A and B are shown apart, each in its own frame.
Chain A
């Protein structure tokens, strides 16, 4: 098989010491931001986007992929020992994991989370390596109208799924589309919304927007929330996984993988939804139902496997169609764009070496993460002692430095903090920021494809639905929206049920 050979070439690249080093930096950073509540992989990758101007693409993407995977590992540590999820996809692990830790079984909970993440991450990466080239091959035949359909799919699903309400999501999307319009029109060379400011003629750099909204906005938001007293840390206690723990864990890992990977590939809210689904599946199937709520190991093993599998699933539409289904994926698209690489079906042909090195690095990253997380938990936990003001000041400095380094322009800095303020306001009033970034990044591409379609058809709008694929996609949008809303309802229902059962909500969000 040609793909296998390509994957082996990918390993040959990714195993070079310099790339191993970048992978190590990535997974270390990823684990760190996963451990720290309030700082997620999207923000971290956004902060590192300015590096794409100096680093070569392979190194940058290996690092970004490491951050993405690492955050999923790190998040479980905080959930289990602190009952506060380090990132949103580990919320559910806080329930059973923290109960296990309090019962003196912390070591086993951490072990099953790390091993489950490893098993699921590796299996899902294997699925990705098999599935992605096939999808890409099919996708190469798509015409411009098919792309328009796919973009509409991405816009609608991301707006509807990634927020507290679809209307807010669409509003955020519109904001992103508008920011994407600023600059010089590529077809007619007309200036749009530049207000005569020459610095805006080239548009606002995607990196500045991403850093502004994700890093500055997020930091302002987290810092603005009321401070709480220190949370008692449950000491890591108990023996490692017993034989019974293994027996109860491995089916949960496999089920979590089977649930997480498909959920990740469709735009339905990303990894969080998959953890809830996996948790409720485990609770229904378990022979130890009475353990749930008091530290059932399946309740940690399943969701932790699911969120890592979903993380790999997200990469399928990202690499084959250029469609982001999560906030981090949107930022990774921005990184591709800043290298002048257009993610999409042609990626596997034009950038084969890069893509396969990236996929190979995911396998390697999983091994590195297992090594980093199992024995070094104690070190990660100490990160939680960093006084928060230091952390936020550091992030803001780094954000400003990064944005300034792109073009050495003061206007970029002013824009950065204006966008940061906007990001903070959006979060403050419950508007999701991911649709804004997706709109900003995909908007210009969608516009170009739409106008190309209409030019070919000479303004005939029916051209938009002239291929079977585009019709299928529009039908699928309806189906996906229904499925996504159903999944969300299920998530909300199981959340409410859990809150009722435990008497307390599952940790502060």
Chain B
């Protein structure tokens, strides 16, 4: 069993990382971090840059947990990739970061969090960034 963390290099994503590491330590399980992009945007703020990836790695190494990192550009949306990963690594829990969305944002765009919640094969732990309430 593994803890799957859906990571984005934003406050909510870093919060999910911390919560995921805690959860994995509590359960005594390794973590699997997912950060993917479809590559259809010229600039994708959800896709970790080399520096952010470095930071992510050092945080994971510091935790002393066994970890795997999935960072690639592919066909799947972020939500699909996370659920897919949960199946392949037999996840015990998925950890995601969520944030407030504006009315316009909700009208225009779908929610990755909602897609993960509805499609996940296991419980989902949702955390907010500190100060986002």
Contact among A37, A84, A381, A387 for B40, CB-based, below 8 A: A387
- CB neighbours (8 Å) of B62 from chain A are none
Complex contacts, A394 vs chain B, CB 8 Å: none
Contacts of B41 in A (CB 8 A): 230, 384-388
| 0/1 string, A179-205, CB within 8 A of B gives 1 | 000000000000000000000000000
Q: Which of B38, B39, B44, B49 is the one whose CB lies under 8 Å from A385? A: B44
Is the Cβ of B43 less than 8 Å from the Cβ of A231? yes
Collect the chain B residues with CB atoms within 8 Å of residue A46's CB. Answer: none
**In the complex, chain B residues whose CB is within 8 Å of the CB of A388:** 40-42
In the complex, A2→B45 CA distance in Å? 55
377-435 of chain A: CB within 8 A of chain B: 381, 384-389
Q: How far is the CA of A233 from the CA of B43 in the complex (A)?
A: 7
Contact bitstring B41-84, A, C-beta under 8 A = 1, else 0: 11111010110000000000000000000000100000000000
B2 interface contact, C-beta 8 A: no
Q: When the two chains form their complex, are residues A384 and B39 in contact, meaning their CB atoms are under 8 A apart? A: no
- Give the total of B residues in contact with A, Cβ under 8 Å: 13
Q: How large is the interface on A (under 10, 10 to 19, 20 to 34, 35 or more residues)?
A: 10 to 19
Inter-chain contact B43/A389, CB cutoff 8 Å: no
CA distance A36 to B38 in the complex (A): 18
The distance in angstroms between the C-alpha atoms of A36 and B44, with both chains bound, is 14
**Secondary structure call for the B interface:** loop
In the assembled complex, the CB of A177 is this many whole angstroms from the nearest CB of chain B, namely 37
Interface majority SS on A: helix, strand, loop or mixed? loop
- Nearest CB in chain A: distance from B99 CB, A: 16
Q: Which of A329-388 contact B (CB under 8 A)?
A: 381, 384-388
Q: In whole angstroms, what is the CA distance A228 to B42 when docked? A: 8
In the complex, whether A82 has a CB less than 8 A from a CB of chain B is: yes
Q: Are A227 and B39 in contact (CB under 8 A)?
A: yes
B77: min CB distance to chain A, Å = 10
Known interface pairs A230-B73, A232-B50. Does A381 touch B39 (Cβ–Cβ under 8 Å)? no
Residue A229 lies at the interface, judged by CB distance under 8 Å to chain B: yes
A230 near B37: Cβ-Cβ < 8 Å:
yes
CA of A28 to CA of B49, assembled, Å: 30
Name the residue of chain B whose CB is nearest to the CB of A35: B42
Closest chain A residue to B51 by CB distance?
A: A232
A227 to B50, CA, bound (A): 20
- Once the chains are docked, how many angstroms separate the CA of A229 from the CA of B46? 12
B24 CB to nearest chain A CB (Å)? 28
Neighbouring A residues of B43 by C-beta, 8 Å: 82, 230-231, 233, 381, 384-385
User: Chain B, 14-46, contact with A by CB distance < 8 Å: what is the 0/1 string?
Assistant: 000000000000000000000001111111110
Q: List the 9 shortest-distance A-B pairs measured between CB atoms, nearest first.
A: A230-B44, A384-B43, A229-B73, A384-B42, A387-B40, A232-B49, A233-B43, A230-B47, A229-B39
* 19 new A-B contacts at CB < 8 Å, known A230-B37, A388-B40: A36-B42, A37-B42, A227-B40, A229-B47, A230-B42, A230-B43, A230-B44, A230-B47, A231-B42, A231-B43, A381-B43, A384-B41, A384-B42, A385-B42, A385-B44, A385-B45, A386-B41, A387-B41, A388-B42
Contact surface of A with B, Cβ cutoff 8 Å: 36-37, 82, 84, 227-233, 381, 384-389
26 A-B pairs (CB sep. < 8 Å)? A82-B42, A82-B43, A84-B42, A227-B40, A229-B37, A230-B37, A230-B39, A230-B41, A230-B42, A230-B44, A230-B47, A231-B43, A232-B49, A233-B43, A381-B43, A384-B41, A384-B43, A385-B43, A385-B44, A386-B41, A387-B40, A387-B41, A388-B40, A388-B41, A388-B42, A389-B40
